[in-house]
A = this chain, B = another copy of it.
Amino acid sequence: MSYEQEVKEKAIRAREAARRLAYLSTEIKDRALLQMAESLIKNQQAILEANEKDVRSGKEMGLSKALLDRLLLTPQRIEDMAEGLRVVAALPDPVGEVESMWTRPNGLQIGRVRVPLGVIGIIYEARPNVTVDAAGLCLKAGNAVVLRGGSEAINSNKAIASVISAAAAEAGVPAGAIQLIENTDRAAVGALLKASGLLDVLIPRGGAGLIQRVVQEATVPVIETGVGNCHVYVDEDADPEMAVAIVINAKCQRPGVCNAVETLLVHQNVAGRLFPGLLEKLKEAGVQIRGCAKTRAYAPWVVPATEEDWATEYLDLILAVKVVENLEEAIEHIYRYGTKHSEAIVTQNYSRARQFLQQVDAAAVYVNASTRFTDGYQYGFGAEIGISTQKLHARGPMGLKELTTYKYIVFGDGQIRQ
């Protein structure tokens, strides 16, 4: 079967399933999620064997150690995937919620009710756990899903998808609700991007290259997830101890993720107090510093920053540091180089905190907290499909609610328009 045919046929099957999924009872959806979890555990031997194949050929292909680690499944990781499904089962169902309802002067009662999006396409890279996470979240929100994982994980994904699809169907989920594209040709992604009319939305999860391709080529509506060139600005009225703790956390706690800080901006009046302790601690933590001239005046060992550094999402233990004259310069720098993901100010000054919150345009703006909190779990959504960096539909962490849309339901007694 050609990849176009595979994409089309599976999308159509998902579409058919989506019709019934849209009003499937929460009871059946939750039962399905629990059975999927159980079935993952029961079939872990088959999944681990399939994964071994992927890891073996990954090694032969010379995949990096980091990539191989993402690819690798263990009994513990399978248990984690199962636990993720159980957590989603326990979350409230967003579908059917009437967010507001009002009555017009002519007696029409108009309500806005949450409904599923329909068919969601997910394009992702090496990690096979996304297959389970995405399928679980989409199912709970009443959507069918068409999954397209990286070719490196194809055997793992096939094993996982077959296990969870069967468990879901057994629990009463319409057959076809979970589709995996098995063709590993890059062109199959192209076919998904052009499947408008079949897919309601595409969510790419991966690096900047994938996201750019999707935005450029897709005719299906896309929710962009992604790039986070995040800043922490330490104001002149910052508590230095708090500033150090936040910067270290935002950079080092998990440097490879989108909500980690990439550039530190420091008010000139606080640099002298802040830098000695902070820069030493960052160095000890293994962070390479790339600083502006003023930063290097305090610490000559710092690597000089280039224009490119301000615009780079390192996703690594590297931090660009710039001394600024005032809050305005910090806001200007963030406007110019930021990617509207997560931005933080550390300050005890009330007016400047307000100014930062108001004038910085990003999915999440923080006062006196680490940017690392931009995350569906940390926000209390219970689960996350990704973090949106676009402005339409959903912004920031996306939980179950963001996988739905709404429709208006209108109750009348024969009203006609005058």
Name A's B-contacting residues (CB within 8 A): 19, 22-23, 102, 104, 108, 110, 115, 117-118, 196, 200-201, 215-216, 219, 221-223, 239, 242, 245-246, 248-250, 253, 335, 357-359, 361-370, 372-374, 378-380, 390-393, 395-396, 405-417
Contacts and interface: CB of A to CB of B under 8 A. Distances in A.
A108 B407 contact: no
Given A200-B391, A246-B414, A364-B408, 20 more contacts: A23-B358, A108-B369, A108-B378, A117-B392, A201-B391, A215-B219, A223-B392, A242-B414, A245-B414, A246-B416, A249-B416, A250-B416, A253-B416, A363-B408, A365-B407, A365-B410, A368-B412, A369-B414, A393-B393, A395-B406
A357 B409 CA distance: 7
A407 B395 contact: yes
A380 B110 contact: yes
Given A216-B219, A395-B405, A410 B110 contact: no
Contacts of A108: 369, 373, 378
A372 B117 contact: no
A392 B395 contact: no
Contacts of A415: 368-370, 373
B219 A196 contact: no
A216 to B, nearest CB: 6
A73 B378 CA distance: 55
A197 to B, nearest CB: 10
A379 B417 CA distance: 12
B417 A115 contact: no
7 contacts: A117-B392, A196-B215, A239-B414, A362-B407, A367-B409, A379-B408, A395-B406
A406 B396 CA distance: 9
Contacts of A219: 215-216
Contacts of A396: 407-408
B361 A416 contact: no
Main secondary structure of the interface of A (DSSP, over half): mixed
A249 to B, nearest CB: 4
Counting chain B CB atoms within 10 Å of each CB, the highest count among A196, A378, A395, A414 belongs to A414
Nearest to A20: B359
Nearest to A224: B221
Nearest to A239: B414
Contact of A373 (B374, B393, B417): B417
A218 to B, nearest CB: 9
Contact of A417 (B201, B361, B372, B409): B372
A408 B413 CA distance: 41
A410 to B, nearest CB: 5
A238 to B, nearest CB: 10
B369 A221 contact: no
Contacts of A196: 215
A209 to B, nearest CB: 16
A95 B245 CA distance: 34
A48 to B, nearest CB: 30
Most chain B beta carbons < 10 A, residue from A250, A359, A368, A407: A407
Contacts of A410: 364-367, 369, 373
A219 B104 CA distance: 39
Nearest to A218: B219
A408 B408 CA distance: 26
A392 B335 contact: no
A243 to B, nearest CB: 9
Contacts of A380: 102, 104, 110
Contacts of A370: 415-417
A83 to B, nearest CB: 19
A409 B242 CA distance: 19
